[in-house]
């Protein structure tokens, strides 16, 4: 019972971190009213308890994962504001990434526990080892979420890279399905010795995907900065040209004024001489 309560607490922490990420990126929490806060809290508590209870039965359930993602997506769509599609992408990407990190932790622990992994962590475990694995992964995720939120990205800026996030999300979902099948086959075919290789391939593909996304994001950011610099230079050049034209016009007016004054002086001198 204590282990089950710990698993529920860890799951509540996991869903809470998701809303921390959403509020720091695509949700406009400054405009939240009572309705929005009720939806948010109900989703955290309901999903956290449901997922935690499910994890006391099995390490990962595809059905529970889909239900968790679907319920959370519905809740974030019910919250008023813009960027609906981006919210869905963020939710799916977050849960997929957390699940993949859980799989990596499982493969690492499988190397140590070997055949004991199935009973200690995977199926009807309710062990402190299972809680430690989930908690360590969520600490890592919490550090990542903190860094993202601390950067305070503009929502419009994030919206520009929606297609990139969608592509990464699709890749993560395919990876999740592949490695779920891999871990199930290891459990029921007694192939725990393959955990090291499978874990390395998982973290390798994950890092390559994230690194490629970051490089693409960096290049797009640099291109945008370059465009802004070109635009600024164009505006400066235009202002300089306008200033030159204004100065030339002033010089012309000054020259005309001097000529006018000379003509007036000449007329005045003629009058004096005639008088």
* 33-80 confidence digits (pLDDT tens): 888 899 999 999 999 898 888 877 777 788 889 999 999 999 999 988
End-to-end CA distance of the chain: 123
Q: Is pLDDT at 93 greater than 70 in this prediction?
A: yes
Mean pLDDT over all residues of the chain? 83
- Which contacts of 199-205 are long-range, i.e. CB under 8 A and separated by 24 or more positions? 199/104, 199/107, 199/108, 199/110, 199/111, 202/100, 202/103, 202/104, 202/107, 202/175, 203/104, 205/175
* % of the chain with per-residue pLDDT over 70: 93
pTM value > 0.85: no
Domain ranges of the chain: 2-220
pLDDT reported for residue 109 = 84
């Amino acid at each position: 019972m204590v282990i089950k309560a710990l698993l529920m607490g860890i799951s509540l922490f996991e869903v809470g971190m998701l809303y921390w990420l959403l509020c720091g990126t695509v949700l406009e929490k400054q405009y939240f009213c009572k309705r929005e806060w009720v939806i948010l809290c109900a989703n955290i508590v309901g999903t956290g308890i449901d997922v935690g209870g499910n994890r006391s039965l099995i390490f990962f359930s595809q059905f529970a994962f889909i239900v968790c993602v679907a319920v959370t997506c519905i809740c974030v769509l019910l919250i008023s504001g813009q960027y609906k599609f981006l919210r869905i992408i963020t939710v799916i990407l977050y849960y997929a990434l957390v699940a993949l990190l859980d799989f990596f932790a499982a493969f690492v622990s499988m190397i140590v526990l070997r055949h004991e992994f199935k009973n200690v962590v995977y199926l009807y475990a309710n062990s402190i080892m299972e809680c430690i694995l989930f908690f360590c992964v969520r600490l890592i995720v919490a550090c990542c979420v903190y860094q993202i939120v601390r950067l305070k990205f503009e929502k419009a800026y994030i919206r520009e890279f929606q297609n990139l996030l969608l592509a990464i999300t699709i890749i993560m979902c395919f990876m999740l399905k592949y490695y779920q099948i891999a871990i199930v086959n290891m459990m029921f075919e007694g192939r725990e010795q393959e955990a090291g290789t499978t874990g390395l391939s998982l973290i390798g593909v994950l890092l390559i995907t994230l690194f490629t996304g970051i490089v693409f994001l960096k290049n797009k950011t640099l291109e945008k900065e370059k465009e802004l610099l070109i635009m600024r230079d164009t505006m400066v050049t235009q202002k300089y040209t306008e200033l030159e034209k204004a100065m030339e016009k002033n010089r012309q007016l000054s020259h005309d004024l001097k000529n006018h004054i000379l003509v007036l002086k000449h007329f005045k001198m003629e009058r004096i001489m005639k008088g």
